[in-house]
Structure 1
């Protein structure tokens, strides 16, 4: 389980949206700065594209920090494990060799840069990232390696994706809330309840 989830964005409006939507959820920290200003964390989630071309947006800041070798690692993993195209809704971890941020989580919100407003892709990418971290922690618990407990995440889908700040925060919070409350049953009533949290906002359908 994650001890701290740091929500990273320098814009006050985005931080206000994070605070509204994540209110009451455990372990949430709000960081009104940039990726480059983060304190020591265990992993950073980067919202990229399906091909691991990390030359714009938050991806570019990550590569400036860790070098083009990291992009090559990401692309090699995509080539090996996804035959060249990583589906939205999947995520994987890459070691950086940097003690301040030892892991990057690659969780694309889009196949190629473009508008994803009105979709559930922010939820899907956030959920995939959280699951990938949970899987890594299960592995580390078996091997005795340090767990990834302090995670940082940007505002997913709000750059090239064009998702409104409040909607991005809503979908991200839904994913984090689902991580905190795994199901005790799998049936259609539970599915319907979960779909409402992903696709609706106060009774209004916001995901097409």
Structure 2
């Protein structure tokens, strides 16, 4: 799987370069994500498929408002009306240049996330796992149709996650899904430290 990270923002580009340098199959693209030719584009959406604000509004205007209708129908029919943070869904865009969109919510509803959140990690991980292990409505493996995925800076818009924290969490998701084998933490202490290191270099007791 090839990953393209797209941003017009200098600070976000610098954060990605620092965090993702040396990762195989991850490239940085300066400019609009909609200018790319790729198999799938990721939407850092909300849990209910509304695409009328932020980056999602640009997607709706680019691909057409039927995209929102298709996504909301998939969420209703296959996720009981709510696509949770940590889940992802794929819909066709009707566009030959970018044929699929992956909705991977970074928030349940539009809201401030700030620094102490792990939602960019959860959303990025969900999108990657869907491509690697998921299936299209036809039953065909998504991985057979999607080999290049373009990501925006997850959670940095409405959620205002700082660029460095977004980059750190996305990099960890790329590592965990694409490079590492699945594993379980061996203790609550390890799980807590791993969790906190997604947004800080100084873990503490959370309880």
Quick check: TM above 0.5? yes
Q: 1:115 aligns with which of 112, 115, 125?
A: 112
- Pairwise mapping of residues 119-198 of structure 1 onto structure 2 (< 5 A)? 119-136=117-134, 146-183=144-181, 186=184, 188=186, 192=190, 196-198=193-195
Contact 1:7 1:152 in 2 (8 A): yes
User: Structure 1, unaligned stretches of length 5 or more?
Assistant: none
Structure 1 outlier segments of 4+, above 3 Å: 136-147, 184-187, 194-198
Asked if 1:42 corresponds to 2:42, the answer is no
SS at match of 2:3: strand
Contact 1:9 1:154 in 2 (8 A): yes
Partner of residue 98, structure 1? 95
Q: Mark the CA change 1:141 to 1:80 in structure 2 (over 3 Å): closer, same or farther.
A: closer
| Count of residues paired in the alignment | 203
User: Structure 2, unaligned stretches of length 5 or more?
Assistant: none
Give the deviation of 1:35 after TM superposition: 2.3
Partner of residue 6, structure 1? 4
Q: Mark the CA change 1:202 to 1:76 in structure 2 (over 3 Å): closer, same or farther.
A: closer
Bigger drift between 196-205 and 105-114 goes to: 196-205
Bigger drift between 145-154 and 55-64 goes to: 145-154
Aligned CA RMSD, in angstroms, stands at: 2.8
Give the deviation of 1:83 after TM superposition: 2.2
Partner of residue 199, structure 1? 196
SS at match of 1:89: coil
Give TM-score scaled by structure 1 length: 0.87
Aligned mates of 2:46, 2:183 — CA distance in 1: 33
Contact 1:123 1:198 in 2 (8 A): no
Give TM-score scaled by structure 2 length: 0.87
Aligned mates of 1:146, 1:140 — CA distance in 2: 12
Contact 1:171 1:198 in 2 (8 A): no
